[in-house]
Amino acid sequence: MNWIIIIIAGLFEIAFAACLGKAKEATGNLALYWYAGFLLCLTISMVLLVKATQTLPIGTAYAVWTGIGAVGTVLVGIIFFKEPADFWRLFFITTLIASIIGLKIASH
């Protein structure tokens, strides 16, 4: 169950990074709404991370959480913010995904 919580927390990490990207592009009240979304997603992500680390090793849980956030944020950047998707960028994202899977397998 705590692995599912870590995954959900990672998804909220992606969401708070996406909110920051949208807030940077927005102006006026719209920017404030994106910053509010950032704070909400950040809070949910952190609360879920704390809950998951009650039974999972902190090093593994944190690494998986940040890995999910990093991979997801790069993919969101490529898909929604038109960031470059060159070979090396995708190569290293793939190795990061393999590392996250390895940590999950190695964790008891």
The tens digit of pLDDT for each residue in 60-105 reads 899 999 999 999 999 999 999 999 999 999 999 999 999 988 888 8
Which pLDDT value is given to residue 105? 87
Widest distance between CA atoms in the chain: 48
The amino acid at residue 105 is: I
Which pLDDT value is given to residue 71? 94
Q: Please say if the pLDDT value at position 108 is more than 70.
A: no
- Express each pLDDT in 11-30 by its tens digit: 999 999 999 999 999 999 99
CA atoms of 12 and 41, how far apart (whole Å) = 5
Number of domains in the chain: 1
Domain of residue 90, residue span: 2-106
Which pLDDT value is given to residue 26? 95
CA distances from 2 to 8, 9, 83, 98 (A): 10, 10, 32, 20
- Pull the structure tokens for residue 104: 């999950």
Which pLDDT value is given to residue 103? 84
